[in-house]
Copies of this chain bind each other. A is one copy, B any other.
Amino acid sequence: MCELLAMSANVPTDIVFSFTGLAERGGVTGPHVDGWGITFYEGKGSRTFKDAHPSSQSLIARLIKSYPIKSEVVISHIRQANRGEVALENTHPFSRELWGRYWTYAHNGQLSDYLPHFPVSRFRPVGDTDSELAFCWLLEQLVKRFGDTPPEDMQSVFRYAAALAEQIRTLGVFNMILTDGEHLLCFCSNNLCHITRRAPFGKAKLIDTDVVIDFDKETTPKDVVTVIATRPLTDNEAWQLMTPGQWKLFARGELLCEGQPG
């Protein structure tokens, strides 16, 4: 199992508080010691920090915890390897360019007998995880369905991506987060939850380490920030647990649409 973390916000927001909690699970409060990564979008641009070392010991993780990169969309992942050796090329999140946008993806779970289900040619995995291959296959299906030109209706693209995720879920556990830098799709297989913070803001206390934040001092009344995680990161807020097969699409911190299996 791995841990996922993502954020969608209507103003550039730093994720230092949530990442501080997540990073503890990489070797201190959790067993996820096989690397970690985080992707920040700033406008259409993105940058990814990755390390094949445990996040609780990583110099780069320390930088992220102390350096408030302001971002509208963030995806992060800490890894406990099951498929694929511990190596940089197997470290999430994975990114590819499609339709002039960087698409970024992270997966929590494990798939079985998946190879015959994921023929790819245009998008190929660099590493040897089930996760990256499933991502490549998913993007390839988007191109087959919508073509080489960026479609206007991106909601229909993400609805189709959710339907593909439902197909992938038949092969094992597939909690997934996918973004084009604007939209953020969360697909739940067994463990995924989220919280949307908006005015009036209160205090939040991390579960994994002794840190409290007063969001009222860090935000403006118009801020809307949704955080998605494998398990709740704070113990004094009402996280919404997602159900198997459920998906939600966020943009600028707000829920755009959602769906259930069947």
Contact surface of A with B, Cβ cutoff 8 Å: 42-50, 52, 59-60, 63, 67, 87-91, 96-97, 99-102, 121-127, 148-149
Pick 9 A–B contacts, CB within 8 A, sort by A: A42-B52, A43-B87, A45-B89, A45-B90, A45-B127, A97-B124, A97-B126, A102-B126, A122-B148
Bound CA–CA A49/B46 (angstroms): 10
Known: A43-B89, A59-B63, A96-B96. 19 other contacts (CB 8 A): A42-B52, A42-B87, A42-B88, A45-B52, A45-B88, A45-B90, A45-B91, A46-B89, A47-B48, A47-B49, A47-B50, A59-B67, A63-B63, A99-B124, A100-B124, A100-B126, A121-B148, A121-B149, A122-B122
From A37, which residue of chain B is reached at the shortest CB distance?
A: B47
Number of copies: 2
Query: A88 touching B43 by the CB < 8 A rule?
Result: yes
In-complex Cβ contact of A88 among B47, B52, B96 (8 A)? B47
Q: Is the CB of A44 within 8 A of B126?
A: yes
Q: Which residues of B contact A59 (CB under 8 A)?
A: 63, 67
CB distance from A35 to the nearest CB of B (A): 10
Q: With A59-B63, A63-B60, A97-B96 known to touch, is A87 a contact of B121 (CB < 8 Å)?
A: no
Q: Which residues of B contact A89 (CB under 8 A)?
A: 43-46
Taking CB atoms, residues of chain B closer than 8 Å to A121 are 148-149
Write out the residue numbers on chain B whose beta carbons fall within 8 Å of the beta carbon of A97.
96, 123-124, 126
**Minimum distance in angstroms from A108 CB to a CB of chain B:** 20
State how many angstroms separate the Cβ of A37 from the closest Cβ of chain B: 8
In the complex, chain B residues whose CB is within 8 Å of the CB of A49: 47, 49
A44 neighbours in B (Cβ, 8 Å): 87, 89, 126-127
- Tell which of A60, A89, A100, A101 has the most Cβ of chain B within 10 Å: A89
Q: Are B126 and A45 in contact (CB under 8 A)?
A: yes
**Distance A204 CA – B16 CA, assembled complex (angstroms):** 40
Give the chain B neighbours of A47 by CB distance below 8 A: 48-50, 88
On chain B, the residues within 8 Å of A48 by CB distance are: 47-48
- Please indicate the chain B residues that have their CB under 8 angstroms from the CB of A125 in the complex: 100
Closest to A46 in B: B88
Nearest CB of chain B from residue A114's CB, rounded to whole Å: 17
Nearest opposing residue in chain B for A94, CB measure:
B97
A98 to B127, CA, bound (A): 13
Whole-angstrom distance from the CB of A66 to the nearest CB of chain B?
8
